[in-house]
Amino acid sequence: MTETLMTTPTTDDLVVPFHCDRCGALAKVRVVLANGSDLVFCGHHAREYEDKLRDIAVDIIDTDGEQRITT
C-alpha cells in the first residue's frame, strides 16, 4: 500500500467569495477605510448605507468591476 501525502493549497489558490458584513449575502461592494481595513456589503446594504460609507471611505469598489469610486 502506498501512502499519499495531501497538501493544503496556499491561500492564493483558494477562491473564497466574500459575504456582506451586515446580512451574509454575497458581497457586491467593498469599502476601503483610511486605516487599511475594509467592509463588504451586498448591493442592498451598500445602497442603504451609501451616504454614511462615502463619509468614511477612502475607496468604494464594485466587486463586479462595473465601477470604482474614489472619495
Q: Are 69 and 59 a contacting pair, CB within 8 Å?
A: yes
Backbone angles phi, psi at 57, to 5 degrees: -85, 145
Task: Quote the pLDDT of residue 17.
Answer: 77
CA 6 to chain centre: 30
pTM of the model: 0.67
The C-alpha atoms of residue 41 and residue 31 are separated, in whole angstroms, by: 8
Task: Quote the pLDDT of residue 14.
Answer: 40
Low pLDDT (below 70) residues in the chain: 1-16, 65-71
